[in-house]
Structure 1
Amino acid sequence: MIDSTRNGRFQMLVMPHLNSAFNLACWLTRSRHDAEDLVQEACLRAFRFFDGFHGEDARAWLLTIVRNTFYSWYQERHAQPQNTPFDEEFHSLDMAGAIGMPERDNNPEKLLMRKDCERQLQRGLAALPLEFREVMVLRELEDLSYKQIAGIVGIPIGTVMSRLGRGRKLLATILAPGNQEE
């Protein structure tokens, strides 16, 4: 393929999904710095193997590469415990906007309560084991289908559904009153 055509196609199909790739990398690595490195490496891999991409879903393809790059990175460092603190400021998404809910009013009390709920949800997601956290992020934050998640994670759709169900139950347990740490 001619380089300019290849570059243009890569820019058009893959680059619009960098935010999703970075979001997934942040949740997997729990570190903004590591996520930046991970996405950079994943993009280099995606570009290197772009000629082999013949699908229609570049987002799922890129997220698969991000996930696989993460697991390679993680295996190289598995002997080192992952003690990186969860960066709340970085991960403090506007959850209403993230899941397509209408904006709420600017009442200070409601804003404070919503911010507290978002903070609790972020802590809960961060506390989930990796196998549940990755499918929860892909489904609930990235809004991918079960089929797309199954392809990215490399598991059957039934396992995706099972992990989502178990992850949601575990998240509910983590968020239950009495399990919250102040």
Structure 2
Amino acid sequence: MSPATHFERLALPHQEAAYNLAYWLLRSRSDAEDAVQEAYLRAFRAFGSFRGEDVRPWLFAIVRNTAYRMLNTRQRAANVISLDTALSGDGEEDGFPFEPASDSPSAEDTLIGAAERDLVRAALAELPTAFREVVVLREIEGLGYREIAEITGTVVGTVMSRLSRGRQLLHQSLARKIGKDRTHAL
């Protein structure tokens, strides 16, 4: 089997999850797409050094590093905004493109589910990046502590403490948001 075929067989099944991670880190569909494309190119170029272990943490580490590189570039360029962009208010459409498939729910269930998803997404987006990434990797992508530690370049204890703190902050944010919704409903 050729290296390209082997890479495709191992890496492509994780493309959606890689996109989701990039999206949560970058908060932009187009930036996430760019990050995943660049990360997959970097991964392919470095595939010869891949040790044959689990490809998912290796690939996610590349996606994470690529996303952070893009964030750093974006922060450096934040002071340079074109007048056309500032005047047009051109913004990125918010959204999470990969929704889990479900059996045809009722319209009411769909509305309630969408409202709950929006609350969780908004609360998750408010988390500091270090906490958001471990919550996304654990709760959305289902990775284990060791895999997350490998991806983030930290130790398992740090992953556990960030996950605990991230969950706590997420819970507090959701409680505030739900409290506001109930107050507005009265």
- Tell me the TM-score normalized by structure 2: 0.82
* Aligned-residue offset at 1:87: 4.2
**Alpha-carbon distance in structure 2 between the residues aligned to 1:179 and 1:163:** 27
* Aligned-residue offset at 1:179: 5.2
Give the counterpart letter for 1:173 in structure 2.
Q
Does the 8 Å contact 1:14/1:59 carry over to 2?
yes
Matched with 2:133 is: 134
Q: Does 1:41 align with 2:55?
A: no
Contiguous gaps of at least 5 residues in structure 2: 80-89
Give the counterpart letter for 2:96 in structure 1.
H
Greater CA radius of gyration, 1 or 2?
2
- Tell me the TM-score normalized by structure 1: 0.84
Matches within 5 A, 1:55-66: 55-66=52-63
Q: Structure 1 173/87 Cα, relative in aligned 2: closer, same or farther at 3 Å?
A: farther
Does the 8 Å contact 1:128/1:171 carry over to 2?
yes
**Alpha-carbon distance in structure 1 between the residues aligned to 2:98 and 2:129:** 20
**Alpha-carbon distance in structure 1 between the residues aligned to 2:161 and 2:91:** 28
Q: Does 1:156 align with 2:155?
A: yes
Matched with 1:178 is: 179
Q: Does 1:106 align with 2:70?
A: no
Give the counterpart letter for 1:62 in structure 2.
L
Q: Does 1:165 align with 2:164?
A: yes
Q: Does 1:91 align with 2:80?
A: no
Give the counterpart letter for 2:131 in structure 1.
F
Matched with 1:13 is: 10
**How many pairs align?**
171
Taking only aligned residues, the RMSD between alpha carbons, in angstroms, comes to 2.5
Contiguous gaps of at least 5 residues in structure 1: none
* Percent identical: 46
